[in-house]
Amino acid sequence: MKATHLLQLATQAIQFAGAVARRRQAEEVLRRAYYSWKFVAGLDYVERDTDAWCAMTEATETEYRALARAKRQERYYRDRLLKLAGAAQAEGA
């Protein structure tokens, strides 16, 4: 494999790893936001599709959107890494 291909793959792998870390962090932030909301509301469990569920999701919309964005970025960097790896392999690098 050529050095330039290795460098490109390494760069993409680092970007992908960063995206995975950001997604995991966003998941934890959302999980904590849910927990905090339930604690303040005095609830241990929130049933889906209830008034409490709607209130909790509205209160944590920012955290939810951040997670959705992090998931999109993770998929983007994963796809770029796989595309680059496939191209390098097909080229016989």
Q: Domain spans of the chain?
A: 3-90
Predicted structure pTM score: 0.87
Using the structure block, give the residue that is written with the tokens 């964005």: 69
Nearest to 19 by CA among 64, 56, 67, 62: 67
Residue 5 has pLDDT above 60, yes or no: yes
Q: What angle do CA 22, 45, 21 make, to 5 degrees?
A: 10
Q: What is the mean pLDDT of the chain?
A: 94
Question: Amino acid identity, residue 37?
Answer: W
Please tell me the distance from the alpha carbon of residue 22 to that of residue 17, in angstroms, as a whole number.
Answer: 9
Q: Which residue has the higher pLDDT, 54 or 4?
A: 54
Could you read off the pLDDT of 18-75 as tens digits, one per residue?
Answer: 999 999 999 999 999 999 999 999 999 999 999 999 999 999 999 999 999 999 999 9
pLDDT at site 1? 64
